[in-house]
């Protein structure tokens, strides 16, 4: 399927029987004939998903009175995402009021042959999948198709104007800078750059190479190599270093046990400031930029004023710090932003 046109009525939408429901009793897809359904696969640690959620929230507010049903399918990227408590907190943070089902073993995702976050499906009044959009973007196209399917379902009320883009990079035709791709820390999908490499389910003492290639994670100190994470293994100082190209940086991290972990964050050898610190960074009384890891989730580290290349360092002495992944935010190339 493409994300730019309505598809023929060839594929029936599958049921979304999952592990746990939020905001609703279980929703039966086959009982929704005559109504338009939007299903979005997401994960609460996925940066692209969190950037897409404001659009889905607004569509739900705009079109539910016209019969639209919205269902979020939470298919976790990491094992801790199977915990309903963490997902509930994420739903509250994101202001989601539509039904969400947990798909802990990716059964629903498999039935929809879905492997990406976020992915949005639109289902017509007859229960057929008519549209699929993968990843960020295509918001105006998605809303336009949504309106078309509602009209086809017999809704004759005047529809609102399409949403204005929330960010310049969301505008149709925007050309973005190439940013560093998502970097995973665990040995299953790992992006480690140290010459020591991975030793699965073992602790490795990593030396600082003092030279950092892009698109790699470098560890310094003793780190346990887990399937999905690198876990700092001793109380002595541990560091994570990476060279990246982007506008902003997010990290997915988890405190082991009930600990609250403090991690000092620097960029290009300097502490972050009010001009470039992310939403989850605090500046302490000594001017240090620090992040408190209190629960497993995505934390926003850096929001640079402009796209560029930087070296980021995370420093901790806690042996309860588990690092899962980094994600990066790009921006539109100013010279190529359309004024149409």
Pick from 63, 206, 247, 227: nearest CA to 147: 63
> What's the rounded mean pLDDT across residues 123-130?
96
pLDDT at 334: 77
* C-beta separation of 72 from 37 below 8 A: no
On whether both 233 and 316 belong to a single domain, the answer is yes
**Number of folded domains that form the chain:** 2
pLDDT, one tens digit per residue, over 46-82 is 999 999 999 999 999 999 999 999 999 999 999 999 9
pLDDT band for 3, please (50, 70, 90 cuts): very low
- Same domain, yes or no: 133 and 46: yes
**Residue 44: which CATH number?**
3.40.30.10
Domain co-membership, 188 together with 330? yes
Give the pLDDT confidence of 262-319 residue by residue, as tens digits: 999 999 999 999 999 999 999 999 999 999 999 999 999 999 999 999 999 999 999 9
Domain span at 150: 20-166
155 and 187 together in one domain: no
Task: Assign residue 199 the CATH number of its domain.
Answer: 2.60.120.260
* Residues 306 and 207 both lie in one domain: yes
Domain membership flag for residue 286: yes
Q: 140-173 pLDDT, tens per residue?
A: 999 999 999 999 999 988 899 999 999 988 887 8
Task: Please state whether the predicted TM-score (pTM) of the whole model is above 0.95.
Answer: no
- 3-state SS record for the chain: CCCCCCCCCCCECCCCCCCEEECCCCCCHHHHCCCCEEEEEECCCCHHHHHHHHHHHHHHHHHHHHCCEEEEEECCCCHHHHCHHHHHHHHHHHCCCCCEEECCCCHHHHHCCCCCCCEEEEECCCCEEEEEEECCCCHHHHHHHHHHHHHHCCCCCCCCCCCCCCCHHHCCCCCECCCCCCEECCCCCECECCCCCCCCCCEEEECCCCCCCECCEEEEEEEEECCCCEEECCCCCEEEEEEEEEEEEEEEEEECCCCCEEEEEEECCEECCCCCECCCEEECCCCCEEEEECCCEEEEEEEEEEEEEEEEEEEECCCCEEEEEEEEECCECHHHCCCC
Identify whether residues 214 and 188 lie together within a single domain: yes
78 domain residue, yes or no: yes
Whether residue 256 lies inside any domain: the answer is: yes
Using CA atoms, how far apart are residues 173 and 196, in angstroms rounded to an integer? 43
Token pair listed for 310: 């930087």
Same-domain status, 63 and 100:
yes
161 and 195 share a domain? no
Q: Given the DSSP bridges, would you call strands 230-232 and 218-225 parallel, antiparallel or unpaired?
A: antiparallel
Q: Is residue 148 part of a domain?
A: yes
* Residues 117 and 253 occupy one common structural domain: no
Q: pLDDT band for position 33 (50/70/90)?
A: very high
């Amino acid at each position: 399927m493409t994300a730019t046109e309505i598809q023929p009525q060839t594929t029936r939408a599958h049921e979304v029987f999952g592990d746990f429901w939020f905001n609703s009793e279980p929703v039966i897809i086959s009982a929704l004939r005559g109504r338009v359904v939007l299903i979005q696969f997401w994960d609460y640690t996925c940066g692209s998903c969190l950037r897409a959620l404001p659009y889905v929230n607004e569509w739900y507010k705009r079109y539910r009175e016209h019969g639209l049903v919205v269902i979020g399918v939470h298919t976790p990227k990491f094992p801790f995402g199977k915990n309903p408590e963490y997902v509930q907190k994420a739903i509250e943070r994101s202001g989601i009021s539509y039904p969400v089902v947990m798909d802990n073993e990716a059964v629903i995702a498999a039935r929809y042959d879905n492997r990406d976050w976020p992915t949005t499906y639109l289902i017509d009044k007859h229960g057929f999948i008519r549209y699929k959009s993968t990843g960020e973007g295509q918001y105006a196209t998605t809303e336009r198709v949504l309106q078309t399917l509602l009209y086809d379902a017999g809704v004759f009320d005047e529809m609102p104007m399409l949403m204005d883009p929330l960010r310049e990079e969301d505008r149709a035709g925007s050309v973005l800078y190439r940013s560093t791709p998502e970097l995973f820390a665990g040995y299953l999908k790992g992006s480690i750059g140290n010459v020591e490499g991975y030793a699965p389910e073992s602790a490795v003492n990593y030396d600082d190479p003092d030279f950092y290639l892009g698109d790699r994670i470098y560890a310094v100190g003793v780190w346990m190599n887990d399937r999905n994470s690198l876990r700092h293994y001793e109380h002595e100082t541990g560091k994570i270093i990476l060279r990246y190209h982007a506008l902003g940086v997010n990290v997915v991290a988890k405190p082991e046990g009930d600990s609250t972990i403090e991690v000092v964050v620097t960029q290009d050898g300097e502490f972050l400031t009010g001009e470039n610190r992310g939403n989850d960074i605090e500046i302490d009384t000594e001017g240090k930029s620090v992040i408190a890891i209190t629960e497993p989730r995505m934390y926003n580290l850096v929001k640079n004023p402009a796209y560029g290349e930087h070296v980021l360092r995370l420093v901790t002495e806690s042996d309860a710090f588990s690092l899962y992944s980094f994600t990066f935010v790009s921006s539109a190339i100013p010279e190529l932003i359309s004024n149409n």
